[in-house]
Structure 1
Amino acid sequence: MRIARVVLPVVLACSSLGPVPHVAGQPLEGNPSRGAAVFGQCVACHSVESGVHLTGPSLARVWGRRAGTVEGFTRYSEPLKHAAVVWDAATLDRWLEDPQTVVPHNLMTFPGLKDARQRADLVAYLKAVATGQAPPTASGGGMMAPARPDLKTLGPERRVRAIRHCGDGYHVTTEDGRTVPLWEFNLRFKTDSSPLGPSRGRPVLLPAGMQGDRASIVFASPEEISRTVEAKCP
Structure 2
Amino acid sequence: MSTKHCLALGATLFIAVAFGPVHAGDNPKRGAKVYGACAACHSLEPNLHLTGPSLDGLWGKKAASVANFPRYSGALKEQGFIWDEAPLNAWIADPQAFVPGTYMTFRGIDDEKVRGDLIAFLKIAMAPGGAKSAVAQGLINAEMARGQAPEPLATLGPDHQVTGIRHCQSTFFVATADGRQTPFWEMNLRLKIDSSSNGPKGGKPALVPGGMQGDRASIVFSDIEEIGRLVERKC
TM-score by length of 2: 0.82
Encode CA deviations 1:13-34: one digit per residue, 9 max, x unaligned: xxxxxxxxxxx95434221111
Q: Which residue of structure 1 lines up, in the alignment, with residue 12 of structure 2? A: none
Amino acid at match of 2:110: K
What are structure 2's unaligned runs of at least 5 residues?
1-17
Runs of at least 5 residues in structure 1 that lack an aligned partner in the other structure: 1-23
Preserved contact between residue 164 and residue 174 of structure 2 (Cα < 8 Å): yes
Alignment of 1:40-55 (within 5 A): 40-55=36-51
How far residue 141 of structure 1 moved from its aligned partner, in angstroms, is: 9.1
Distance 1:213 1:85, change over 3 A: same
1:58 matched to 2:60: no
> Structure 1 residues 28 and 156, CA, compared in 2 at 3 Å: closer, same or farther?
same
Contact 2:93 2:109 in 1 (8 A): yes
Quote the sequence identity (%): 50
Aligned to 1:181: 183
CA RMSD of aligned residues (A): 2.0
2:142 and 2:209 map into 1 onto residues whose CA distance is 32
AA of the residue aligned to 1:161: T
The aligned length equals 210
**In the alignment, which residue of structure 1 is the partner of 2:34?**
38
Which of 69, 88, 95 lines up with 1:92 in the alignment? 88
Rounded Cα–Cα distance in structure 2 between residues aligned with 1:142 and 1:157 = 29
Larger radius of gyration: 1
Preserved contact between residue 97 and residue 112 of structure 1 (Cα < 8 Å)? yes
Shift of 1:142: 7.6
Task: Normalising by structure 1, report the TM-score.
Answer: 0.82
- Give the direction of change, closer, same or farther, for the CA distance of 1:72–1:41 in structure 2 (3 Å limit): same
CA distance in 2, matches of 1:83, 1:175: 50
Structure number with higher helix proportion: 2
| In structure 2, distance between residues paired with 1:212 and 1:142 | 28
Q: CA deviation at 1:203?
A: 0.8
TM-aligned CA deviation for residue 104 of structure 1: 0.9
What is the alpha-carbon distance in structure 1 between the residues aligned to residue 84 and residue 172 of structure 2?
50
What is the Cα deviation at residue 140 of structure 1?
A: 8.2
Aligned to 1:220: 222
Say whether residues 1:127 and 2:100 are aligned partners.
no
Deviations 1:125-145 (A, max 9, x none): 111223455442364898342
Task: Classify 1:159/1:102 alpha carbon distance in 2 versus 1 (closer, same or farther; 3 Å).
Answer: same
* Whole-Å separation in 2 of the counterparts to 1:123 and 1:196: 29
Residue aligning to 1:103? 99
Q: Is the 8 A contact 1:219 1:225 kept in 2?
A: yes
Which residue of structure 2 aligns with residue 115 of structure 1?
A: 111
**Alignment partners' CA distance in 2, 1:130 and 1:229:** 42
Q: 2:173 matched to which residue of 1?
A: 171
- Name 2:203's counterpart in structure 1: 201
- TM-superposed CA distance for 1:205, in Å, is 0.5
From 71, 81, 93, the equivalent of 2:77 is 81
Matches of 1:154 and 1:125, distance apart in 2: 35
CA deviation vs aligned residue, 1:174-193 (integer Å, no higher than 9, x gap): 11121111111111111111
